[in-house]
Chain A
């Protein structure tokens, strides 16, 4: 199989479309009153981010994003939301008293980002390194198991601890 370069079509449109969906549904996540609607908005954000990863020639990360985030974590969220009492939550105040502080902090953060991007624009290399997309998975796999073997094992340990912790927390009587 010859490794061939793909020529993306209509990239800017895809980019703007996906980004718009991502940002708008992210706003939906924090604005909706009903947590289930928030979770559904989160799904849209995550899926459009997976699309952005595909545009960045990171298909493996995109696949993991879909299978783990959308198929796993969001299902977990929905599962928990179903167990707890939504009707009461919807009737309450959705925002706490520090919204002003929060907004201020966010604005400062935004200004910081803008400053960094404006000042640091020169630092970014303009031309991307080209990877053969066909071998992305293989390369990521090799890197995971050769260069990052120790972090990988630590991550697996972390997951084990998380499983045990979650079970201990959620179980009524052990």
Chain B
């Protein structure tokens, strides 16, 4: 036991090992034990590894070990042209690939000092919001599964399938869409795109209510989520937590309103917030966000302008020397791209601010003194995607 831990332990856990070296290994204190959750574990949403120090069921300390899915995306960018790097960003948050692409394309457009044509911006908004719904549906299904409710998973996947069908019809890919290009969108919308999206909106509106019938007033669900993993508004701001997690703590901060991008300033929608900042509030905020997204999509489809879908971009992209930071509201929080250009065809440096990575830092604070089962619930409620945490 001690040997295993020592061989591949992160620094702070090694301290425990040092402390117990004198005495016998497996139990640190009389009843404490170290539990290695992950990297292969059903509910760490990928290859997250959490080292838990437990007293019976109670969590005394947590330690996140990440990097099992590290692919060096940011380093790869330094050896690719701006256009060539575009597909790579889809592989970061693979359940919300469209948002990633949007953020990157807009950042590079900002660097090139240009703007996509209006029709492209409208289409981008529709697809991004669809993707937000898909991401939240996946989150809801897996989060409920973590807490032990197996049925919502199948309901949400059934409805997510409709979104993926629209994606597939639009660009041929379902998951890593690569839908947008720098300067607009490559593809014109297919015939019946508007009808498909509208039909989907009508289809999914009652389904969101259906998810709620299963969970919102379920006694066990309330007991498992209310008061679990509380994160105060100040803590959120201190830790840099963004997205639904921040809004559930009562901070009304949404980049779609604060720094409107794409076509968001043309649409009416509300920013749902919670008060307590517990798991239940985050659940309610995300459910409300799905409804708001539907509202945005309906408005966007009705007002989609005519015109070209691709702006005029130079064949060889050589942005002027300089640096740019552009961030969008991805389903999981603020997704920012910081690009430094040295005037060549390749970026000098790209740094991604992934929402999951930053949100994951709150895990330790949220599970302080909680039980083992809460750790799973909290990992679920943070809505992390390891592709994005490790990049």
Contacts and interface: CB of A to CB of B under 8 A. Distances in A.
B31 A88 contact: no
Interface residues of A, number: 5
A87 B23 CA distance: 12
B26 A83 contact: no
Contacts of A84: 27, 30
A126 interface: no
A85 B30 CA distance: 8
A26 to B, nearest CB: 30
B31 A87 contact: no
B84 interface: no
Contacts of A83: 30-31
Interface residues on B, range: under 10
B258 interface: no
A83 B33 CA distance: 10
B24 interface: yes
A6 to B, nearest CB: 48
Interface in A78-135: 83-85, 87-88
A87 B26 contact: yes
A81 to B, nearest CB: 12
Contacts of A87: 24-26
B31 A85 contact: no
B25 to A, nearest CB: 8
Nearest to B25: A87
B29 to A, nearest CB: 10
A84 B32 CA distance: 10
Nearest to B27: A85
A88 B30 contact: no
Nearest to B29: A172
Contacts of B31: 83
Contacts of B25: 87
A107 B248 CA distance: 74
Contacts of A85: 24, 26-27
A87 to B, nearest CB: 6
Contacts of B24: 85, 87-88
Contacts of B30: 83-84
Interface string B1-44: 00000000000000000000000111100110000000000000
Interface in B68-98: none
Nearest to A88: B24
Nearest to A84: B30
A129 to B, nearest CB: 51
Nearest to B55: A172
A94 B31 CA distance: 23
A90 to B, nearest CB: 11
B32 to A, nearest CB: 10
A83 B57 CA distance: 13
Contacts of B27: 84-85
A84 B26 CA distance: 10
A96 B332 CA distance: 63
11 contacts: A83-B30, A83-B31, A84-B27, A84-B30, A85-B24, A85-B26, A85-B27, A87-B24, A87-B25, A87-B26, A88-B24
Interface of B: 24-27, 30-31
Given A83-B30, A83-B31, A88-B24, 8 more contacts: A84-B27, A84-B30, A85-B24, A85-B26, A85-B27, A87-B24, A87-B25, A87-B26
Instruction: For the complex of A and B, list the 3 residue pairs with the smallest distance between their C-beta atoms, beginning with the closest.
Output: A88-B24, A85-B24, A83-B31
